[in-house]
Amino acid sequence: MPHGYKLLCEINSIKIPTKFVILVKNILTVNRNQFIKKSMAAGAAGLFLPSLNSYKFSKNIKNTSANDQINIGSIGINGMGWSNTLKALKVPGVNLVAVCDVDQNAITRRLNDKTVADIKDKIKIYSDYRKMLDQDDIDVVYIGTPDHWHALMMIDAAAAGKHIYVEKPIGNSIGECEAMVAAQKKYGSIIQVGQWQRSSTHFQEAMSFVHSGKLGPIRTVKVSCYQGWMRPQPIVADSAVPDGIDYKAWLGPAPNKPFNASRFHFHFRWFWDYAGGLMTDWGVHLLDYALIGMKATVPKTIVGLGGQFAYPDYSQETPDTLTTLYEFDGFNLVWDSAMGIDNGSYGRNHCIAFIGNNATLVVDRSGWEVIEEKRSENKVIVPLQKKSNNGHQQHQFNFMQAIRENKPESLNCNVEEAAHVAKVAQMGNISFRANQKLSWSAKNNQFENSGINEKYFTKEYHNGYQFPKI
C-alpha cells in the first residue's frame, strides 16, 4: 500500500501497519513468467542491489531480458506525460496497458490519439493512481503530473515494485528530493528522470570540449532562459470545477484552494504550491549542464533577485524575471531568466555559456559552438555543431535498455543526479523568496541562515496527506 494512503490500513477489522501489508502483498504476488524478483536475481548472479544495504526485505522489482515485452502505465497524460508515453511506445516491445488522470477529458482526448486508437479498448483507465499501482502486469510507471505530486507518486510506485520514469524537476522541495533519493535506495527501482538533454549527443560533445581545457580558465558560466511562449495568465475569478475533473485529487497534498483556471494544467508552473517557475521548469535542464561542465557540486552562497517586472498585474507568484548568482570556488554561475521574450544571451532563447580566457563555448538544444576571445593569444574557434540525435527519444531507449539489462548504473539521468540539480535550482528560488543572500553548508547539507531551513527546506502537506517517511 503506497505512502499516499493513510499510515494504517484496516484488514478484516484489524489494523495492521502498512509496511507489513506491502511486504505480504509482494510475497504473495505472482508475476508473469518472464519476470523474477530482483532479490533472487541478485543472489543468483551476484548483482549489486542498492536496496539491500538499507532495506532488509527487498521489494518485488521486476527484471526483464532483452526480448521481453515491457508494459507501462502513465499517470498524468495532459502534457509532458503523454509526450513521454508516445516516445516510450517507439521503443520495440513497449506496450501501454493503463493510463491515469484526474481529468477525464484528457483521458478521452489521449486515447483517441492515432498512436493508441487501435488498442484503446485494451488500456485500463484510472482516476486514482494508487489503484493503478495495484495492476500486476504494469512493469514501468510514467509520472507526468504537476511537480507537487512527483514525490508521493514516485515513492508509492517504487514501494509497489515498479520501475519509474518521472518528469523533472524530480521534487518540489529540497526535502522531497532527498526523500526520493532515499526511496530509490530502499526499494531498488530503476528510475529515469525526464532531463532528456542528458541523452543528447551534442550536449555530451560540448562537455567534452569544456573539459579539454581549450577554453582556458573559466571564470563565469552564464545560463540564459528567455521563453517568449511561456506567459502567465491574466487574473480570473474563481469558478466551479469543470466537468470531468477531480479537482480534490489534483490538489492532493497542496493547500486546499478554490478552482481557478489560471492555476490549472500548464499554468500550475507559476505558483509556489505546485512548482517553482522557470527556475525549476527549465533550470534543471540548463543548470544541470552548467554543473557538469564545471564538475561542480554545490554553491557556497546564493543571491536571487527578480520579480513580476513584465506582468505585474497577472496572476503568477513565481517571478517573470529572475537573476541568480551562485558563488562556487573559482567561478561564478549566473542564472538569467525572463518570461514572454526570446532575445536572451548570444541571440538565443536559452543557452549555457562557459566563458574562458581563450574562448566562450555556447550550447543549447540546437547545437554548440566556440566563439573566439579576440584578446587571447590562444584563440579557439569551433563553428556551430548541430544536434545529431533526438535526445528525448534516446532518453527512452536508454531507460528501457537499463531495465532490460538490469543496469541502473547505465541510466543517463538517475534520481541522485536529478535531485542534485533540482536542489541547486530550489536554492535560487529560496533566496529570491526569502529576499536575502544565503549560505549553504555542504558539510551539514542545509542552509546556514537561521530559520530558512525550517521555512523552506520542504513543504507542508495538506488534505490528509503526509510527507513520505523513508
Q: In whole angstroms, what is the distance from residue 430 CA to residue 439 CA?
A: 11
Please give the CATH architecture assigned to the domain spanning 8-198+397-415: 3-Layer(aba) Sandwich (3.40)
How high is the pLDDT of residue 309? Answer: 97
Q: How far is CA 77 from the centre of its chain?
A: 15
Answer yes or no: is pLDDT of 47 > 50: no
3-state secondary structure of 131: helix
How high is the pLDDT of residue 65? Answer: 56
Q: In whole angstroms, what is the distance from residue 84 CA to residue 158 CA?
A: 19
Answer yes or no: is pLDDT of 218 > 90: yes
Task: State residue 390 phi and psi, 5-degree precision.
Answer: -90, 100
Sheet holding 163-166, edge to edge: 124-126, 94-100, 70-75, 140-143, 163-166, 191-193
DSSP letters spanning 155-208: HHHHHTT-EEEEPSSS-SSHHHHHHHHHHHHHH---EEES-GGGG-HHHHHHHH
* Helix and strand totals (H; E) in the chain: 14, 18
Answer yes or no: is pLDDT of 12 > 80: no
Mean of the per-residue pLDDT values of the chain: 88
How high is the pLDDT of residue 59? Answer: 39
**Nine-digit cell at 73?**
502505465
Q: What's at 419, amino acid-wise?
A: A
% of the chain with per-residue pLDDT over 70: 86
Strand 191-193 versus strand 218-227 pairing type:
unpaired
How high is the pLDDT of residue 61? Answer: 55
Answer yes or no: is pLDDT of 252 > 50: yes
Strand partners, 62: 37
Q: For the chain, where do the domains classified as CATH 3.30.360.10 start and end? A: 202-230+263-386+421-456
Mean pLDDT of 241-252: 98
Q: How far is CA 391 from the centre of its chain?
A: 16
Answer yes or no: is pLDDT of 336 > 70: yes
Q: What is the per-residue pLDDT across 56-82, written as a single tens digit (0 to 9) for each?
A: 223 345 565 556 899 999 999 999 999
How high is the pLDDT of residue 253? Answer: 98
Pick the CATH number of 202-230+263-386+421-456 from 3.30.930.10, 3.40.50.980, 3.40.50.12710, 3.30.360.10: 3.30.360.10
What helix, strand, coil percent values describe the chain, rounded to 5?
A: 35, 20, 40
Q: How far is CA 180 from the centre of its chain?
A: 11
Q: What is the per-residue pLDDT across 376-405, written as a single tens digit (0 to 9) for each?
A: 989 899 999 999 999 999 999 999 999 999
First to last CA, the chain: 14
Answer yes or no: is pLDDT of 155 > 90: yes
Q: In whole angstroms, what is the distance from residue 73 CA to residue 111 CA?
A: 13
Answer yes or no: is pLDDT of 7 > 80: no
Strand 70-75 versus strand 94-100 pairing type:
parallel
Q: Are 143 and 88 in contact (CB under 8 A)?
A: no
How high is the pLDDT of residue 365? Answer: 98
Q: For the chain, where do the domains classified as CATH 3.40.50.720 start and end? A: 8-198+397-415
Mean pLDDT of 303-316: 96
How high is the pLDDT of residue 68? Answer: 84
Q: What is the per-residue pLDDT across 160-179, written as a single tens digit (0 to 9) for each?
A: 999 999 999 999 999 999 99
Dihedral in degrees, nearest 10, Cα atoms 191, 193, 194, 195: -140
Q: Are 361 and 353 in contact (CB under 8 A)?
A: yes
How high is the pLDDT of residue 15? Answer: 42
Maximal CA-CA distance, the chain: 80
How high is the pLDDT of residue 64? Answer: 57
Mean pLDDT of 215-236: 96
Q: In whole angstroms, what is the distance from residue 305 CA to residue 316 CA?
A: 16
Strand partners, 191: 164
Alpha helices for 348-414 (secondary structure H)? 391-404
Mean pLDDT of 178-189: 98
* CB < 8 Å & 24+ apart, contacts of 429-435: 429/276, 429/277, 429/279, 429/280, 429/304, 429/318, 430/302, 430/304, 430/456, 431/302, 431/303, 431/304, 431/324, 432/304, 432/305, 432/306, 432/319, 432/322, 432/324, 433/272, 433/304
Query: CA-based angle 227:228:229, to the nearest 5?
Result: 95
Answer yes or no: is pLDDT of 22 > 60: no
Q: What is the per-residue pLDDT across 403-425, written as a single tens digit (0 to 9) for each?
A: 999 999 999 999 999 999 999 99
- Label residues 414-444 b or e (16+ Cβ within 10 Å = b): bbebbbbbbbbbbbbbbbbbbeeebebeeee
Q: In whole angstroms, what is the distance from residue 267 CA to residue 143 CA?
A: 18
Mean pLDDT of 435-441: 97
Answer yes or no: is pLDDT of 27 > 70: no
Answer yes or no: is pLDDT of 43 > 70: no
Q: What is the per-residue pLDDT across 92-149, written as a single tens digit (0 to 9) for each?
A: 999 999 999 999 999 999 999 999 989 999 999 999 999 999 999 999 999 999 999 9
Answer yes or no: is pLDDT of 331 > 80: yes
Mean pLDDT of 257-286: 97
Q: How far is CA 364 from the centre of its chain?
A: 19
* Residues contacting 14, CB < 8 A, separation 6+: none
Q: In whole angstroms, what is the distance from residue 465 CA to residue 470 CA?
A: 15
